[in-house]
Structure 1
Amino acid sequence: MNIAEKLNQTFTYADYSQWPDEERWELIDGEAYAMSAPQRLHQDIVFELGRQIGNYLQGKPCKGYVAPFDVRLPRKNETNDNINTVVQPDLSVICDPSKLDKLGCLGAPDWIVEVLSPSTALKDMNTKRSLYQLHGVQEYWIIHPEDQWIMVYKLDDQGRYAMPDVFGMN
């Protein structure tokens, strides 16, 4: 199946798990999104942040992961094969070990970080923000590498992201 065919239909995790490992995709509500290789600055930030988070998590119950790492976000009572949302955040932190299995994470991580790329910025800032809120990701960071800012969303008592805090880098 070529890329155009993949983009014109909906998919589940059963489909996704059969795709070649050398291709990187995300599924959001069954829609396939091709992922391209990130730029060097993006990778510099992911590597450094991953190192710092990893150091911080030593001796703590939470585990951190960098992409590619599948995060499956099921709807209520959805079987693994029928899940139609699978994302690969740049960084994920999971504090509930029951969510981790050999395939990655099943359910919402506690903390997700996305470093913006030109090709995915709108998806990360809108679609994924709404998706992560819906599934209960406690904290969601969006990092803009070129403009050097971090936007931090935290779930409030009603399960919604409050106005984000914005911080400069440097």
Structure 2
Amino acid sequence: MMGLALKDRQQHTYGDYLQWPDDLRYELIDGDAFLMSPAPDLPHQDVAGEIYFQARQALQGKSCRAFIAPVDVRLPKRDEADELIANVVQPDVLVVCDANKLDKRGVRGAPDWIVEVLSPSTASHDQIKKRDLYQRAGVREYWLVHPIDRLLTIYRLQNGEYGKPELYPLEGETQVGILPDIVIGWGELVARLPKDY
């Protein structure tokens, strides 16, 4: 099967996903296949890489583990078999504290913390579709980093829903609310970003 449209009209599962070519990356949200854009630009990768690096350092010797894309995160609705799962995403950065959610294929179940670095081609997808999916799946804290606007949006799960988002400039440090060991420093990272980015 070559080249699904950005969003095709068929319903798919993780079983289908495993049959697709490795040179194309997709995400599944409620069975809809979304072709991911080509490799992100260098500033996007720098932001994701720096957040991952700081999170991984902060978690050394602890039970929680940090990962960086591409890692398949399967989000079952209940206890369906892997091949029937209709939600598979590849967040930019994620932390999982329950080792039972990790297997050789990636992650099965909601990560504790997810970070998506926004780019113009994916911003609405990350802010609407993924936000809704992460809320339903039970992701406890969801960060959207807007490198162009130098802005951070944080959603925290309370009573099964994301409340009003918190907005912060990419300045100083920001602590992960549910993982207080992780504090992301923005100064050097933001200084490295191109001025016109």
Secondary structure (helix, strand or coil) at the match of 1:141 reads strand
Q: Which moved more, 1:97-106 or 1:33-42?
A: 33-42
Q: Equivalent residue for 2:48?
A: 46
Counterparts of 2:35 and 2:52, CA distance in 1: 23
Using the TM superposition, give the Cα deviation of residue 77 of structure 1 relative to its aligned residue in structure 2, in angstroms.
Answer: 2.3
Counterparts of 1:4 and 1:44, CA distance in 2: 29
Q: Equivalent residue for 1:63?
A: 65
Secondary structure (helix, strand or coil) at the match of 1:41 reads helix
Counterparts of 2:4 and 2:115, CA distance in 1: 29
TM-score (norm 2): 0.83
Counterparts of 2:22 and 2:55, CA distance in 1: 27
Counterparts of 2:9 and 2:160, CA distance in 1: 33
Counterparts of 2:144 and 2:87, CA distance in 1: 20
Matched, 1:7 2:4: no
1:121-143: per-residue Cα shift (whole Å, max 9, x none)? 10100111111011100000001
**% identical aligned pairs:** 52
Amino acid at match of 1:94: V
Amino acid at match of 2:80: E
Q: Equivalent residue for 2:133?
A: 131
Runs of 4+ in 1 over 6 A off after TM superposition: none
Unaligned runs of 5+ in 2: 172-197
Using the TM superposition, give the Cα deviation of residue 2 of structure 1 relative to its aligned residue in structure 2, in angstroms.
Answer: 3.2
Unaligned runs of 5+ in 1: none
Instruction: Trace 1:79-98 onto structure 2 (pairs within 5 A).
Output: 79-98=81-100
Matched, 1:27 2:28: yes
Amino acid at match of 2:24: E
Secondary structure (helix, strand or coil) at the match of 1:54 reads helix
* C-alpha contact 2:4 2:35 (8 A) present in aligned 1: no
Amino acid at match of 2:67: Y
RMSD: 1.2
Q: Equivalent residue for 1:143?
A: 145
Counterparts of 1:32 and 1:127, CA distance in 2: 12
Counterparts of 1:125 and 1:11, CA distance in 2: 22
Instruction: Trace 1:74-113 onto structure 2 (pairs within 5 A).
Output: 74-113=76-115
Q: Equivalent residue for 2:188?
A: none
